[in-house]
Chain A
Amino acid sequence: MNDLSRRRILFGSAAIGAGAVLTACTSNSTGENTQINTNKDTEANPNAAPGEKVVIAFSAPAADHGWVAAITNNAKAQAAAYSDVEFKSVEAGADAAAQRAALSTLISQKPSVIVLLPHDGKELNAVGLEAMRAGIPVVNLDRAFPDRGAYRLQIKGDNFGMGLAAGTYIGEQLKAKNISNPIIGEIPGIDSLELTQQRSAGFKEALGVYGFRVANRRPAEFTADTGQRAATELLQALPKIDALWNHDDDQGIGVLAAANQSNRKEFLMVGGAGSKAAIDAIVADNTVLKATVTYSPSMASSAISLARLIGQKKGMSDLVELEVPKEITLASETITKENAAQYAKLGF
């Protein structure tokens, strides 16, 4: 028995020691890269002047990839830029049920405004209604609630528009090269998601205008390693292609790696989302990546700014209305080498 416990202690301490040694070399000194509105010119924009204090409660799923991480970082940074905003961030937990529980606790604390990126709009709909009935305006980020009464403001990206923009860019480029019957590949993200289907639908519609269609479609899972696998399969299935749309710049790191590894340079590639790495690659112009269509996490910064205005009962200064609109859909913009400089600050 003695022997056993001694051994346990030995093993335990060895494991902890090894952990400590390894921890010493984990530091990741990348500065946080955020996209926020820092306009403090109160003459140009009266809304920039500090006003009534607003407590903004924020909830987003634990980030599993760069985009969600950027959403949380942006919200935090934008809130910090206002002296009149108190920011309360709540971990949304692992799933919709955990986020519901976290939000119920929040509602009882009576914040001025709730900003949330739901795990799933349908599943969090009831919480939206509950908060609105309790008199707390809800700002829904990107994943819509089915009930219009469940939110005060919805700000989201345009998934269909992304596909449309990517398809239009590819169509124009191939038309300019006079390719009549091009072979086009598509690498979507997680295929069961509605947003993926909307992106693909937009892409299909835009290509249809030019009489083009997708020759092969291999879904990945928004991660670089799955992007590499999907792209390797797709490039193997199509010995020659003219264009490729990859839905997500994070998985695009893997897609570009696969193109390199299989020595394929004959096509033009369009990305999605607008990550910093993708914008840098487009500027450098030494890969197949020639453009990316945005779905910018800067929407989280805008959501915080608008939540502040809602809390202070102010409108957007350029609009006539006295209050913030109910729905805002951001346009998906196409970033190419020509305009990349102006988008550099929006890359995440």
Chain B
Amino acid sequence: MTDQRTKTDVPADAPAPVSLTKTSWWKSDGAEPVRRNLGLIGVLIVLVIIGAVTRPELYGDASWVTNNVWTILQQASAIGVVTVGMTFVIIGGGIDLSVGAIIAVAGVWSTTLATQSYGTAGMIFTAIVVGVVVGLVNGVLISYGRLVPFIATLAMMVAARGLAAQISGKQTQVSANSTINDIASTKILGVPMLVIMLAVVVAGGWVLLNRTTFGRRTVAVGGNPEAARLAGINIRLHTVLLYALSGLCCGIAAIMLTSQATSAQAAMANLYELDAIAAAIIGGTLLSGGRGTIIGALFGVLVFSTITNLFAINNLSTEVQNMVKGAIIVAAVLVQQFRYRSLSQLFSRT
């Protein structure tokens, strides 16, 4: 009887293994980031085409186009560095709302007259140490103080802005250090220094996430904290390190921004937390943790930067630009919800 049944069922089941082998890698879970990144590259290409169609006289000039590419990348550099740190935190199951405020504290602290008197190294050291220390405080509050990341970093966002205002005496602090100021205008072999810094941070972030135990642990901690704990990972320590990493990225971004603006002030890097979170999300990072890519986050930042550029060259208002940004975030999350399903699966559900 049982033999009979299986025999009759064979024809019905037969196509299944065939379709599995056909769609093996491309539709597999592992190819999801690649599919998404190709999607984002597609979006970038569409944006460039729109730019070329709307302003042909600009896009006809090769040197302008090269210059424009560097401009877009430079505009993305500081926020890109922050997004790398943010991506780690989100993959690790957290969120960091204090990044903009950390940049402000680090930027302001490194440009006080006292710090500036220690020279370039003193300014860079201060920015990095302040960023890491504030990140550590975030991490300790969350890990050992058992505060929800949203609340802890929200509190830090408010407090750090306050600290920045206190340190700066509510004034814009101009950087008199020409080495720092020159970072933003220096080019090495035709590539702007800021773009090189972004590339180094992104490459470092990629290696750290994909090729080290630290990266694997981050995914494990964010994906399933209990399983990670049972597997022997020190979740608390790891969480502290993730926020410190985010703080480190903020410290680096503070130097980049200070160099670009040749000054720092308490209100600098306003709302960077939202831009960084949005970029990470449209780059395919799950807000609930355990999944995400650095390259995707970078593309997320580039999409925003390219939209800003597109609106600028067409002299369109920033209001419309913000609406478009919002729509892109929603679209990205909608796509994310269907990430495991093929289109046919999607339609067969209805």
Min CB distance, A99 to chain B, in Å? 17
Interface of A is mostly: helix
Annotate A104-131 by CB proximity to B: 1 below 8 A, 0 otherwise.
Answer: 0000000000000000000000000000
Residues of A within 8 A of B165 (CB): 62-64
Q: How far is the CA of A95 from the CA of B98 in the complex (A)?
A: 20
Q: How far is the CA of A227 from the CA of B257 in the complex (A)?
A: 12
* B308 contacts partner chain A, Cβ-Cβ < 8 Å: yes
Q: Is the CB of B113 within 8 A of A232?
A: no
Q: Once A and B bind, how many residue pairs between them come within 8 Å at the CB atom? A: 149
Q: How far is the CA of A41 from the CA of B328 in the complex (A)?
A: 66
Annotate B29-54 by CB proximity to A: 1 below 8 A, 0 otherwise.
Answer: 00000000000000000000000000
Q: How far is the CA of A64 from the CA of B169 in the complex (A)?
A: 10
Partner of A217 from B74, B118, B315 at Cβ < 8 Å: B315
* B137 contacts partner chain A, Cβ-Cβ < 8 Å: yes
Q: How far is the CA of A212 from the CA of B32 in the complex (A)?
A: 53
Q: Is the CB of B262 within 8 A of A224?
A: yes
Min CB distance, B193 to chain A, in Å? 11
* B220 contacts partner chain A, Cβ-Cβ < 8 Å: no
Q: Is the CB of B133 within 8 A of A22?
A: yes
Min CB distance, B146 to chain A, in Å? 11
Q: How far is the CA of A240 from the CA of B266 in the complex (A)?
A: 33
Partner of B114 from A4, A25, A234 at Cβ < 8 Å: A25
Partner of A239 from B64, B171, B270, B309 at Cβ < 8 Å: B64
Q: Is the CB of B133 within 8 A of A15?
A: yes
Q: Is the CB of A25 within 8 A of B133?
A: no
Q: Is the CB of B133 within 8 A of A19?
A: yes
* A229 contacts partner chain B, Cβ-Cβ < 8 Å: yes
Q: Is the CB of B174 within 8 A of A277?
A: yes
Chain B interface size band reads 35 or more
Q: Is the CB of A253 within 8 A of B308?
A: no
Chain B residues 122 to 145 lying within 8 A of chain A, measured CB to CB, are: 126, 129-130, 133, 136-137, 140, 144
Q: How far is the CA of A65 from the CA of B270 in the complex (A)?
A: 13
Q: Is the CB of A30 within 8 A of B262?
A: no
Annotate A257-292 by CB proximity to B: 1 below 8 A, 0 otherwise.
Answer: 110111100000000000001000000000000000
Annotate B274-288 by CB proximity to A: 1 below 8 A, 0 otherwise.
Answer: 000000000000000
Residues of B within 8 A of A261 (CB): 184-185, 260
Partner of A224 from B133, B170, B172, B319 at Cβ < 8 Å: B172
* B261 contacts partner chain A, Cβ-Cβ < 8 Å: yes
Q: Is the CB of B313 within 8 A of A236?
A: yes
Q: Is the CB of A232 within 8 A of B71?
A: yes
CB within 8 Å for A25 and B118 given contacts A69-B171, A216-B312, A254-B260: yes
* A250 contacts partner chain B, Cβ-Cβ < 8 Å: yes
Partner of A26 from B67, B114, B266 at Cβ < 8 Å: B114
* A223 contacts partner chain B, Cβ-Cβ < 8 Å: yes
Interface centre among A63, A256, A261 (most CB of B within 10 A): A261
Q: Is the CB of B112 within 8 A of A25?
A: yes
Residues of A within 8 A of B293 (CB): none
Interface centre among A29, A229, A262 (most CB of B within 10 A): A229
Q: Is the CB of B144 within 8 A of A7?
A: yes
Min CB distance, B52 to chain A, in Å? 14
Q: Is the CB of A253 within 8 A of B267?
A: no
Chain A residues 156 to 193 lying within 8 A of chain B, measured CB to CB, are: 191
Q: 26 A-B residue contacts at CB 8 Å?
A: A8-B144, A19-B133, A26-B115, A27-B114, A29-B114, A62-B165, A64-B267, A65-B267, A191-B318, A216-B315, A218-B318, A221-B267, A222-B267, A223-B268, A223-B270, A224-B262, A226-B270, A228-B261, A232-B71, A237-B312, A237-B314, A239-B58, A253-B174, A257-B181, A260-B185, A263-B185
A-B contact sample (8 more), CB < 8 A, given A232-B74, A257-B184: A11-B140, A27-B114, A65-B170, A68-B170, A216-B315, A236-B68, A237-B58, A237-B312
Kindly list the 8 A-B residue pairs having the minimum CB-CB distance in the complex, ordered from nearest.
A63-B170, A233-B312, A69-B170, A224-B261, A225-B261, A237-B313, A254-B261, A257-B262
Name A's B-contacting residues (CB within 8 A): 4, 7-8, 11-12, 15, 18-19, 22, 25-30, 62-66, 68-69, 191, 215-219, 221-229, 232-234, 236-237, 239, 250, 253-254, 256-258, 260-263, 277
Name B's A-contacting residues (CB within 8 A): 58, 61, 64, 67-68, 71, 74-75, 109, 112-115, 118, 126, 129-130, 133, 136-137, 140, 144, 165, 167-174, 181, 184-185, 257, 260-270, 308-309, 312-315, 317-319
